[in-house]
Amino acid sequence: MEFHAEIERGTLASIIDGYERMLVQALPECRWQRFFEVHIFILTMLFAPPVRLLHTQFHAKESNLSGSGAQAGDFLFSELGQSLSIVISRNRKRC
């Protein structure tokens, strides 16, 4: 048990270091998307009740013929029952 806990602490420290290195860079949104997809547990800890990931990179609202009006979500989570939570990036730099 102690060895397993030590591995978890080392892994978490490595993730935090990687996050801090990314913060000082002007990274496009897709890099952050990938980081949180790989470490999805970080986002799930933001919610009070347990959640599960349903989908990444999805369209929550379609666009009209000119392409305006579209709403894309980065992560779609489900709680118990019918509650849904959507996480959307405010920084939409293209990759």
Q: Are 48 and 24 in contact (CB under 8 A)?
A: no
Phi, psi of 35 (to 5 degrees): -60, -50
pLDDT digits (tens, 9 = 90+) for 18-64: 999 999 998 998 899 999 999 888 888 888 888 999 989 887 777 77
| pLDDT confidence of residue 1 | 65
Q: Is the pTM of this model over 0.75?
A: no
- Cα(first)–Cα(last) distance of the chain, in Å? 42
| pLDDT confidence of residue 20 | 94
